[in-house]
Homo-oligomer: A and B are copies of this chain.
Amino acid sequence: MTMEAAAPRRTRIQQEKREVILEAALEVFSAQGFRGSTIDQIAEAAGMSKPNLLYYFRRKEDIHETLMQRLLDTWLAPLRELDDVGDPMTELRSYIRRKLEMARDFPRESRLFANEILQGAPRIMPLLEGELKTLVDDKAEVMKGWMRNGKIARTDPYHLIFSIWATTQHYADFDVQVRAVLGPDRGADGRFEDAARFLEELFLNGLRPQ
């Protein structure tokens, strides 16, 4: 069992202000990256002075760390829900849809994560090699079972998971490029509808057992 710092007892104001700061920091970090963001920018976005912000988080890194810890849990939730007992094709369809919905509804979280990985994941490497790897190994086994039973085509489950991550997160991380190429004709909702339809076709046809 790992040693955790004793649960800090927080006042009402502390709880509220910390949330405000984290929200503001998510906005700023996801748009400019960790090093590109300044405490002043976050403080202004949070509607308080810099020393005031530093009263709640003593270091810039502490904000980022708190943000990343919360992020990984919600980020992996869809994969956790991938269930052994359901119908494989239905399970995969749901997973892709949930992941795409996260890209639509939480693009800042996606970009924050992408930024961290792009920089070599200096702050969450242990989580990737631990929690993340364990979860993926687990779900890869589930998929291998489906393949053995002829429910989906035999292929590499790890790269299947990677490609689902890549295609769905692309719509959050590369949003400006997607918008630039598609033009303004179709709004955000339309883009995501089209993407959902395409990805379902691609993966479900691509994985149909031969």
Contacts and interface: CB of A to CB of B under 8 A. Distances in A.
Interface of A: 31-36, 111, 114-115, 117-121, 125, 128-129, 132-133, 136, 153, 155-156, 158-160, 162-163, 165-167, 169-171, 173-174, 176-178, 180-183, 194-195, 197-199, 201-203, 205-208
Contacts of A205: 153, 205-208
12 contacts: A114-B114, A117-B173, A118-B118, A118-B173, A128-B181, A136-B181, A155-B198, A165-B174, A167-B167, A202-B202, A202-B206, A205-B207
Contacts of A182: 158
A163 B167 contact: yes
Which 7 A-B pairs have CB atoms at the shortest separation, nearest pair first? A206-B206, A166-B170, A35-B36, A128-B180, A159-B198, A202-B206, A166-B166
Nearest to A206: B206
A119 B31 CA distance: 6
A118 B121 CA distance: 16
A146 to B, nearest CB: 16
Contacts of A170: 162-163, 165-166
B117 A174 contact: yes
A204 B202 CA distance: 9
Nearest to A198: B159
Contact of A155 (B119, B160, B202): B202
A35 B155 CA distance: 41
Contacts of A167: 162-163, 166-167
B195 A159 contact: yes
A133 B182 CA distance: 8
Nearest to A161: B181
Contacts of A129: 180
Nearest to A135: B181
